[in-house]
Amino acid sequence: MLPVLLCHRFAAGDIRPFLAETLERPALDRLAWAFLELDAADAGVRALGAYDNFLGLLAEAEARAELERLSRDEATRSPLFLLGKRFATDFQQGLLALLFETRLRPLVREYGIF
């Protein structure tokens, strides 16, 4: 969605090459680029740091096993689950900042909300 929202900066004939080049990149690279492109580096550091922390948590076999065996009721009391939830919330807040606290906001309101 981010590359498409940024197409407004290009003449019609330049959109296809921009999208082709941009969409060849891995999704996380596109996301990091968007944070930088939209002068939202602080939100990007928070979001991508939270994403990295979440992946690090899931990379630990012991932590993953504990999370898998938690019931829904137990999860709300599990420090490990709550830590993962905090990472997810931080990631979400970074994405929301990118979409609604940058010059993308009017474009998101116009084209991204149905």
**What pLDDT, in 10s, does the model give residues 24-80?**
999 999 999 999 999 999 999 999 999 999 999 999 999 999 999 999 999 999 999
pLDDT of amino acid 75: 94
pLDDT band for position 114 (50/70/90)? low
Contacts of 103 (CB under 8 A, 6+ apart): 38
Pair of tokens at residue 10: 């290009």
**What pLDDT, in 10s, does the model give residues 4-33?**
888 888 999 999 999 999 999 999 999 999
Pair of tokens at residue 92: 């979400």
Tell me the domain boundaries of the chain: 2-112
**What pLDDT, in 10s, does the model give residues 93-109?**
999 999 999 999 998 98
- Dist CA 32 CA 63 (whole Å): 27
